[in-house]
Chain A
Amino acid sequence: MQLCQARSLSEERLDLLTHCRADLDNVLRRSAREKEENVKYASEKLIAKLLPVLDSLDQAAKHDEGTKVLYAQLLGILSAEGLTTIDAVGKKFDPYQHEALFQVETGELEEGTVAEEIQKGYLFNSRVVRFSKVAVAKPLNAAKI
């Protein structure tokens, strides 16, 4: 009787131990993966924070030659790091790259195409760091459901 109990207890313990060991292995494996990703995307947070500055410079560049140069300079450095703009206007709306703010009625563009870019979107090393904010085309006088 005691032997039975002892045996089942020891089986329970072995099971728990195996689980713990497996957990540990998985965590180590995941840590290694995450560490690699962190290194690759280390600058992502900082770059995301700089995007509003890019926006402001972009706007300012419209009014001032000097700022235009400044904007190009900053954009150049960030591009070298892996920053690219997301293509929006004229492309088919893609919810994995664009965010639709509203629709515009137009006869010139196919339905579901990006008609206007409200805010530029960016990719950093092929990961979206900010989605493009766009207006999407819909046909004229679309029937209301």
Chain B
Amino acid sequence: MSKIIGIDLGTSNSAAAVLIGGRPTIIPSAEGTSIGGKAFPSYVAYTKEGQVLVGEPAKRQSVTNPEGTVQGIKRKMGTDYKVKVYGKEYSPEDVSAQILRKIKTDAETYLADTVDKAVITVPAYFNDNQRQATKDAGTIAGLEVVRIINEPTAAALAFGLDKVGEHKIMVFDLGGGTLDVTIMDIGEGVFEVRSTSGDTQLGGRDMDERLTNHVLDRFKQESGVDLRGDSMAMQRLREAVEVVKIELSSVLQTNLNLPYITADASGPKHLSMTLTRSKLEELIQDVMERCRGPMVQALKDSKLEKADIGKIILVGGPTRMPIVQEFVKSFMGKEIERGVDPMECVAMGAAIQAGVLGGEVKDLLLLDVTPLSLGIETLGAVTTKLIERNTTIPTRNSQVFTTAADNQTSVEVNVLQGERPLAKDNVSLGRFTLVGIPPAPRGIPQVEVTFDIDANGIIHVSAKDLATKKEQRITITAPHKLSRDEIDSKIKDAERFAADDLKRKEEIEVTNAADSLLYASAKMLKEAGDVATAEQKDKIEKAIGDLKNAQTGGDISDIKTKTESLQTSIYELSTAMYQKAAQEQQAQQGQSSQGAGSEPGQEQGSSDQTVDADYEVVNDKK
């Protein structure tokens, strides 16, 4: 069964999105993305040769074909207006259908599947005729329009506002050429428009104009040259100004450099000036002021006060500018919602609605993640992570651990949450003990520890002795509901202390390695018996003594060196032991030597392995 897509059919730009794995994803336009984002211009062109162009290509040829190029057809939807080109007539639905047809094709390419159904958004103030016309356009394009939803509603869905109780919200939609302010009731399945207001001739384009004129005037002042007549210069300038405007949303000032912008009798001219955000804000002051009226009107018509509005969302490219955000924020006296791209939210909201209607979105709307890593405490009071932070849940992971001491018959599992390498710096969510482990040398028992997080975020930790199958478990229901800020600060701490923590972890690892080696060496000496020469024995015993002294001394690099020298002397012995074992094997002709057997060689081999990193060590209960 194919997916239902969501479509934002805009006056100046259109975009489509679809739910993939529960997440709204913008469908890329076949001709690539333009400077502002992922939408394409709502242009349709009928050429003399009978070709139909949609989007960027239509825009690019518009100057050569003004009679056949149509833009902003949305303004005519629901009317009897006819587009007359080259002897043919088209209704607004026909023209819009061309745009929808292109979207259908792009979607089918992207999803590698047929697409027959869509949810399309319309302005909140659209009447029945306009909504029907939009539906008809879909039908002409080969799409069944399963729902028409309001643009501010779609935006609210994208921000997830329908999931957090009931609210009165304001949607401030400032696009390339229009401003729409909508006040709505939302939540608990309710989406009701209380009032709308706006300005159909106000948008980002006005801001571009102000900035371009400023640059032209300044250049004229500085160089005496007016670039307005030079089409090539104007082209370069317009492009550069748009880039500058967007840059000034993230930096306070930037350089506009256009060397060799033009040339006159006195030689080549260069344009180079610094543009500041404050200057831009000054230039568009009047544009911002015009945004006030619609907000006042919408509030009045809704019979609400500013304080009644619980959430504010911004839609449209120009709302990315800090000055626009500040303006709305200071007018309303509260923060705006963040987290969704203002240019994509309408299409995304339509996709979410499409997903609901398509049955994709039942209980598993968006999956949660674990905000912080989870693990257990292991030898040396370090944390061994089993689940990394930001892992999508439900999830599970297991790892096999072993004992730290000979005859250790119980292991304590300390469940830790956090990013720091040392156990004491993390939060302990709970502890439990598994008893009844058969007595064995350290490193032999196998205890499987499993972390299982279900879809509700409840953590189940279990420890199972693989020999006896004995198991113990713990359930952690509300692991410390941390706020976003608390989580962020814990992660920052981990980064800040990373260097120190790493050093201390290495020190612990060196100590652990020394301990393991001492244990293994003593064992090996005992088992080697006669194979070890007196000389080897002395050497090893001295190395063992040195290492023990180093441990008491506490100097990490000393411990490391002494560990290495003990290791070297052990290798000599183990090599000798293997050689002897090989000789013995050859002596026993015709006998199978594949089995694990009880040959001394094999046993020593496995005791060597306990030193490896394969097995982690679980802390003994003190």
- Interface residues of chain A, those whose CB is within 8 Å of chain B, are 16, 19-20, 23-24, 26-27, 29-30, 52, 55-56, 59-60, 62-63, 93, 95-96, 98-103, 112, 118-119, 128, 131, 133, 135-136, 138, 145
Contact = CB atoms under 8 A, between A and B. Distances in A.
Interface stretch (B52-60, B192-200, B303-311): B52-60
Contacts of A133: 232, 235
Nearest to A23: B21
Interface in B48-82: 53, 57-58, 60-64, 67
Contacts of B236: 52, 55, 119
Interface string B355-394: 0000010101000000000000000000000000000000
A145 B67 contact: yes
Chain B: interface residue count, which band? 20 to 34
Nearest to A55: B236
B60 A95 contact: yes
Contact of B21 (A24, A55, A136): A24
B268 to A, nearest CB: 6
Interface on chain A toward B: helix, strand, loop, or mixed SS?
Answer: mixed
A118 B232 contact: yes
Contacts of A20: 21
Nearest to A99: B60
Contacts of A138: 64
Given A63-B268, A112-B64, A133-B235, A19 B57 contact: no
Interface of B: 20-21, 31-32, 45, 53, 57-58, 60-64, 67, 110-112, 231-232, 235-236, 240, 258-260, 263, 267-268, 360, 362, 364
A118 B64 contact: no
B61 A95 contact: yes
Contacts of B21: 20, 23-24, 27
A56 B62 CA distance: 28
A118 B20 contact: no
A99 to B, nearest CB: 4
Contacts of B67: 145
Contact of A101 (B63, B267, B360): B63
A95 to B, nearest CB: 4
Contacts of A56: 258-260
30 contacts: A16-B364, A20-B21, A23-B21, A26-B111, A27-B21, A52-B258, A56-B259, A59-B268, A60-B268, A62-B260, A93-B61, A93-B64, A95-B45, A95-B57, A95-B58, A95-B60, A98-B60, A101-B63, A101-B235, A102-B63, A102-B231, A103-B63, A112-B64, A118-B231, A118-B235, A119-B235, A119-B236, A128-B32, A131-B60, A135-B231
Q: Which 8 A-B pairs have the closest CB atoms?
A: A59-B260, A95-B57, A95-B61, A99-B60, A56-B259, A100-B63, A100-B64, A136-B64
